[in-house]
A and B are shown apart, each in its own frame.
Chain A
């Protein structure tokens, strides 16, 4: 039985926004979120009932994030991965600016692997489907990303010592 679309928005809205923010930064994420759920609502009646709804939404969110990114840059060249860009993060009071900046600064595949794994909770098999390549490569990208974060994100090793 397919649940009402509203339940999909309630259950996955926050995760999709995290994915969009991680890929685009906080300012453009809202556009990608809206486009994602609009597209999802359009296609929802045809979605197989056995589908992993969250993985499906994350796939759409990734596509829409690329669209929003291209529109913002006015650069219609198709790219395999989102290029690294200065982080647009930094809303006062958000509290996790440094971490988001560190995530945004990761190389493309690592950033995406981290986002899909730890924000969207996807399996490495699902991530491999999105990124291309093997499951092992997806796992390695996430692990490498974590290793980099450990080095670059100041909060991790200081146990509450952050200003």
Chain B
């Protein structure tokens, strides 16, 4: 049967091929990134970078770095969450993350102890945000207990809430919640898994 009107649609699609390779799509995507950026349409730009603690998702609003996510958080669900909580205009646009990616590279190469990129803390509210704002006061290579952090933010009884604030830190590595341990010196939890927490502490201790 050569009569195309009688064959199923799925087969008919097969006779209309179009050679569109991934290089073509990549070039179009880069063009879209630039144009959307120029028009101020990219509410959330993101990229992924490799690191010694696995691939990291980096996302930024025009105000600054808004999210760092480990692979075990599932990058797709993290992006869906950003689309809901910030804006659905989420686009892979690595350029905006260049500075953050470079600082992370330097951090993992032990040539950087502090992060200078602008941060957007809009994913956190209230007490959690307060704790996260104070976390960078723990210096490179040092650690604090959850209790000490509670005291530092002027609420010594809020040890549990400090734990929650660390566990929900939207900017791990850059905002150093990995430097907060249990009072007895054991690790406590970590958003990137205990292996990652151990790796970061070892990296800083070796410096």
In the complex, A58→B159 CA distance in Å?
A: 54
> Do B5 and A147 have beta carbons less than 8 Å apart?
yes
In this complex, the interface size class of chain B, counting residues with CB under 8 Å from chain A, is: 35 or more
> Do A96 and B18 have beta carbons less than 8 Å apart?
yes
Contact of A34 among B31, B41, B46, B84 (CB under 8 A): B31
- Within 70-125 of A, Cβ neighbours of B (below 8 Å) are at 93-96, 99-100, 103, 114, 117-119, 121
> Do B20 and A146 have beta carbons less than 8 Å apart?
no
Contact of A119 among B16, B29, B87 (CB under 8 A): B16
In the complex, A30→B88 CA distance in Å?
A: 24
A17: chain B residues at CB < 8 Å are 18, 20, 24-25, 28
B31: chain A residues at CB < 8 Å are 30, 34
In the complex, A4→B76 CA distance in Å?
A: 9
B18: chain A residues at CB < 8 Å are 14, 17-18, 21, 96, 100, 119
> Do B15 and A99 have beta carbons less than 8 Å apart?
yes
- Within 105-159 of A, Cβ neighbours of B (below 8 Å) are at 114, 117-119, 121, 143, 146-147, 149-150, 155-157
Contact of B9 among A3, A6, A38, A118 (CB under 8 A): A118
In the complex, A3→B78 CA distance in Å?
A: 11
> Do B87 and A150 have beta carbons less than 8 Å apart?
no
B41: chain A residues at CB < 8 Å are 38, 41-42
- Within 38-61 of B, Cβ neighbours of A (below 8 Å) are at 39, 41, 44, 46
Chain A at the B interface: mostly helix, strand, loop or mixed?
helix
Contact of A118 among B13, B88, B91 (CB under 8 A): B13
Among A4, A18, A45, residue most surrounded by chain B Cβ atoms (within 10 Å): A4
> Do B89 and A45 have beta carbons less than 8 Å apart?
yes
B35: chain A residues at CB < 8 Å are 34, 38
- Within 7-55 of A, Cβ neighbours of B (below 8 Å) are at 7, 9, 13-14, 17-18, 21, 30, 33-34, 37-38, 41-42, 44-45
In the complex, A117→B13 CA distance in Å?
A: 9
Closest B residue by C-beta to A119? B16
B88: chain A residues at CB < 8 Å are 2-5, 44-45
Given A96-B18, A118-B13, A38-B39 contact (CB < 8 Å): yes
Apart from A1-B80, A13-B28, A114-B16, what 14 extra A-B contacts exist at CB < 8 Å? A3-B83, A4-B90, A5-B83, A14-B18, A17-B24, A38-B41, A41-B91, A45-B87, A45-B88, A100-B18, A118-B9, A119-B16, A147-B4, A147-B5
Show the binding face of A for B, using Cβ within 8 Å. Answer: 1-7, 9, 13-14, 17-18, 21, 30, 33-34, 37-38, 41-42, 44-45, 93-96, 99-100, 103, 114, 117-119, 121, 143, 146-147, 149-150, 155-157
Show the binding face of B for A, using Cβ within 8 Å. Answer: 2-5, 9, 12-13, 15-20, 24-25, 28-29, 31-32, 35-36, 39, 41, 44, 46, 79-80, 82-84, 87-92
What would be 6 A-B contacts, judged by CB atoms less than 8 Å apart? A6-B46, A30-B31, A100-B18, A103-B16, A119-B13, A147-B5
